[in-house]
Amino acid sequence: MIFAVVEDSRSQSEVLKALLKSEGHQVEVFSDGSSCIEALKTRVFDFFVIDWCLPDVGGDEVLRHVRERCGWDVPVVFCTGRTDEEAAADILRLGADDYIPKPIRYMEFMARIHALLRRRQPRAATVQFGNIEVDLEGRRVKLSGIDVELTQREFELAVILLHNVGRVLSRDELLTSVWARDAGVDTRTVDTHASRLRKKLGLSGESGLMLSSVYGQGYRLDTVHQG
């Protein structure tokens, strides 16, 4: 799925980009509304995340172009510093599907994205990766048909890794995606949880998947052929 993130804060857009890419989405970032509007003439996007206050044109103007070019089936989420009831009503009345108050709480952001995606395109309740079965709705995991007990963070890390088989994910990317803004958490936490998942889910090849540490980069999950 291709996301367009329209956000003038580089640090903010980079975090949102990392979160979305960690789940396998393609992301294009626009630092102002005009560049996004221009891109709409030749590009197709599946989802829009738009800052309400942009340096050139208003978020409402970007939304108008999105609806004209892409129709009403494409989800649009606004990020806004306005949290009053009137602002929320205005944003939704203009045609947005949802809005997220700033400062953005990243787990809430992803939960809202997931909720919109579920409504727009029904998906299977369970997905299979090698011998690992993941119930995305029930947040349960089975290995070769046997339930595996995972913590919330372990489950979230597992889902990100499983959706990115064959791709190197940096420790910082994983840290941002799973732990967001939790204080006192560093990349060693990623290493600890990766080690636990390797044991619990048989990610040394037993499950048909191998979790490897890539020196100086992060982690990569690969499929392996079982003899």
Are the C-beta atoms of residues 120 and 74 closer than 8 Å to each other?
no
Dist CA 185 CA 85 (whole Å): 34
CATH of the domain at 34: 3.40.50.2300
Strand 26-30 relative to strand 2-6: parallel, antiparallel, unpaired?
A: parallel
- Does the pLDDT at position 20 exceed 60? yes
Are the C-beta atoms of residues 41 and 32 closer than 8 Å to each other?
no
Q: In this structure, what token pair is assigned to residue 124?
A: 């299977």
Q: Are 99 and 133 part of one and the same domain?
A: no
* pLDDT computed for residue 125 by the predictor: 64
Q: Are 81 and 138 part of one and the same domain?
A: no
Q: Are 133 and 152 part of one and the same domain?
A: yes
Q: Are 178 and 217 part of one and the same domain?
A: yes
47-83 pLDDT, tens digit each = 999 998 898 988 889 999 998 888 888 999 999 887 6
* pLDDT computed for residue 150 by the predictor: 95
DSSP 149: -
Cα 165 to Cα 47, 113, 184, distances in angstroms: 23, 22, 29
> Which amino acid, residue 126?
T
Question: Which of 31-45, 113-127, 170-184 has the largest mean confidence?
Answer: 31-45
| Domain residue limits at 217 | 126-223
147-203 pLDDT, tens digit each = 999 998 899 899 889 888 888 888 888 887 787 656 578 888 999 999 999 999 999
Q: Are 14 and 110 part of one and the same domain?
A: yes
* pLDDT computed for residue 69 by the predictor: 84
Q: In this structure, what token pair is assigned to residue 167?
A: 């791709």
Q: Are 110 and 162 part of one and the same domain?
A: no
* pLDDT computed for residue 34 by the predictor: 94
* pLDDT computed for residue 16 by the predictor: 92
* pLDDT computed for residue 93 by the predictor: 83
Q: In this structure, what token pair is assigned to residue 143?
A: 């290995």
Q: Are 112 and 133 part of one and the same domain?
A: no
Q: Are 12 and 103 part of one and the same domain?
A: yes
Cα 140 to Cα 137, 146, 150, 180, distances in angstroms: 8, 11, 8, 22
Q: Are 182 and 98 part of one and the same domain?
A: no
Are the C-beta atoms of residues 115 and 165 closer than 8 Å to each other?
no
CATH of the domain at 197: 1.10.10.10
- Does the pLDDT at position 208 exceed 90? yes
Q: Are 142 and 219 part of one and the same domain?
A: yes
Band of pLDDT at residue 220, cut at 50, 70 and 90: very high
Number of domains into which the chain is organized: 2
* pLDDT computed for residue 27 by the predictor: 93
State the average pLDDT for the chain. 87
* pLDDT computed for residue 158 by the predictor: 92
What's the maximum distance between 2 C-alpha atoms anywhere in the chain?
63
Q: Are 65 and 141 part of one and the same domain?
A: no
The answer to whether the pTM exceeds 0.75 is no
